[in-house]
Structure 1
Amino acid sequence: MVNFNNEILVVENISKTIDKKIILNGITFSMRQGDILGIVGPNGSGKTTLLTAISGILKIDKGQISIADEIKLGALIDEPIFYDHLTGYENLKLVGKIRNINISKPDILDILEKVNLKNDANKKFKNYSYGMRQRLGIAGAIFNNANLVILDEPTNGVDPMGIRDIREIIQKLNYEGKTFIVTSHNLSEIEIICSHLLILKEGNVIFGGLITDLQKSNNTTNVELGCENMKNLREEILKMPKFIEIIKENEEFIIISVMNDISLAEVNSWCYEHNINLSRLRIFKDDLESKVLDLL
């Protein structure tokens, strides 16, 4: 029996092979209530397979997936499937019937309100925008008052305004106590909404933990410099203490990687001492995308 220790989901050393190909290889992680876990990785890394395994749709070959007794699981995996000729309200009513859940009209409208679709409750699904369809899919995922919600690429193909809407819905529902697992190729969105990150590559976990831990993991900093004599700058900068490499260069500026214990003031001082009058000097904070790509 699993000792949850305040955890609501424990995934222990799970593996899955399909057609002699290892899709998941010893995946281990856990979640606590209120976490928002982002799962990222290249196509074919095992993200959707992992979600279907946690959802109970796919049987694993090895390991154990344990969900605390008080947890209700809801999921939106792949694109939401509803009937085009039915309204948003009618589709959710049908969801209740299929799942044998007795739910009142006010309760269905309340669910639609949570995903900002109450005003479109009587609009047919075929007339919903793609973002609205995704939001109705989220409504279906939380229909049984799920408190662990799995969303597979919820913002894929959605326009910027729709992405913002979905982000705000996730954040609002999380504030109300729901825990989320979200996959996405949009790493900037993952960085905004997620507290934890799991990076998969070829079925293996190459990072698992707090996003802030990943952001602190790099011991380098990127600095952009520019001056009138770019040729001289390029030649001299190679000699600067704590210089690592040139990342990018053109006629107007050069971006270099340096050890992160050197300050901009030190860079400026060194350039001044070497007769380089900088017209451009700024530091880059690595975003999540660059951190993830470094690991992949």
Structure 2
Amino acid sequence: MAANALEVRSLTKVIGRKKIVDDVSFSVHKGEIFGLLGPNGAGKTTIIRMIVSLIKRTDGAVMVNGNNLDGQFKETMSEIGAIVENPEFYKYMSGYKNLKHYANMAIKDVSDERIKEVARLVKLEDAIHQKVKTYSLGMRQRLGVAQALLHNPSLLILDEPTNGLDPQGIREFRDYLHSLAREGISVLVSSHLLSEMQLMCDRFAIIEKGKLIHISSMNETMDEAEAAEVVFEVSNSKKAVELLKGQAAAANVKVITDDQFSVSVEKSAVSTINKLLIVNDIDVYGISRVTATLEDRFLEITNKEVKEA
């Protein structure tokens, strides 16, 4: 058995003289949610379109469960379920009839029981016989996932799946993807909504101008922040800020209130600042670290890439 559900090797797309995707490689482990992050136009959708063979690759290889897409096309594609952009359905037909229509086109046999099963999985069993034109956007997205799951794939690929969903719909969709991952289905999802991806993904890659510039687990990335904002609760915040302004280890020192100030420091410098405050007769009542967001890390990583370039 292959260790990875998906392996992308040196994926490249050239149109004219322009490289839209430039030598991108990554893997998706079995049972994990892997995110492709990047601004609009970074190349995320092009990567996904190449993976599912909607457009040709200029170079590179795609492996699904150890099988090469080029050498075993039908077998490999049968392991993939995908939604690229918005799912489209016949609105005058019911959700069930739409799924039945797609089931008739599937390579694998899809039973009526399987249609009912995926309807339950996406929590549409009570509305599956209603016409799609009566569905909310969130319900249509879930019907799209049901369609992608009909043939029981091991890999689900979703391109900007939360576009247009309200906060409740986004949360329900995220919880649903987590339940799929717990059942062993691997998920590749692309998005530019960083706050949502932080809650959704186990690992992620950042795509910038067609290149992969960072890849890691979500936990590792949050822990790798170069400097964290730390809030000190003290007896005299103005005196403390004046004292710290001359310290090389402390950056962006600012008064919040009369008894609170914040400073950007590495973890190892927190105790040094605490001792310095106490030695200078400033009482310290509390120290708290402001947790970095994925947006903070994304900007830190992409800005660093720009400077190095």
Q: What TM-score do you get using the length of structure 2 for normalisation?
A: 0.85
CA RMSD of aligned residues (A): 2.4
Query: Given the alignment of the two structures, is residue 286 of structure 1 paired with residue 283 of structure 2, yes or no?
Result: no
Give the one of 111, 118, 140 matched to 1:133: 140
Contact 1:14 1:28 in 2 (8 A): yes
Secondary structure of the 1:213 match is helix
Higher alpha-carbon deviation: 218-227 or 273-282: 273-282
1:220 equivalent in structure 2:
227
Q: Helix, strand or coil for the counterpart of 2:34?
A: strand
Structure 1 unaligned spans of 5+: none
- Equivalent residue in structure 1 for 2:114, among 107, 110, 113: 107
8 Å contact 1:249–1:255 — kept in the other structure? yes
2-side partners of 1:286 and 1:131: how far apart? 30
TM-score w.r.t. structure 1 length? 0.88
Answer whether contact 1:240 1:270 (CA < 8 A) is retained: no
Residue 189 of structure 2 corresponds to which residue in structure 1?
182
CA distance in 1, matches of 2:137, 2:253: 38
Cα offsets for 1:177-201 (capped at 9, x unmatched): 1111011223233223322111111
Conserved? CA contact 1:246–1:254, under 8 Å = no
Encode CA deviations 1:116-168: one digit per residue, 9 max, x unaligned: 11111012111111111111111111111111000111122212221121112
Alignment coverage as a number of residue pairs: 291
Alpha-carbon distance between aligned partners in 1 of 2:254 and 2:157, rounded to the nearest angstrom: 39
Q: Is the 8 A contact 2:109 2:151 kept in 1?
A: no
Matched, 1:65 2:62: yes
> 5+ residue gaps in structure 2?
68-74, 303-309
Q: Do residues 95 (structure 1) and 102 (structure 2) align? A: yes
Q: Which AA in structure 2 matches 1:268? A: N
Q: Which residue of 2 aligns with 1:237?
A: 244
1:84 aligns with 2:81: no
Distance 1:23 1:233 in 2: 51
Distance 1:193 1:125 in 2: 27
Name which of structure 1's ranges 117-126 and 190-199 shifts more when overlaid on structure 2.
190-199
- Tell me, what secondary structure is at the counterpart of 1:262? helix
* 1:41 aligned partner: 38
| Residue type of the alignment partner of 1:167 | R
- 1:58-93 Cα deviation digits (max 9, x unpaired): 111112222234750110110111111111111111
Equivalent residue in structure 1 for 2:164, among 157, 165, 169 = 157
Identity rate, percent:
31
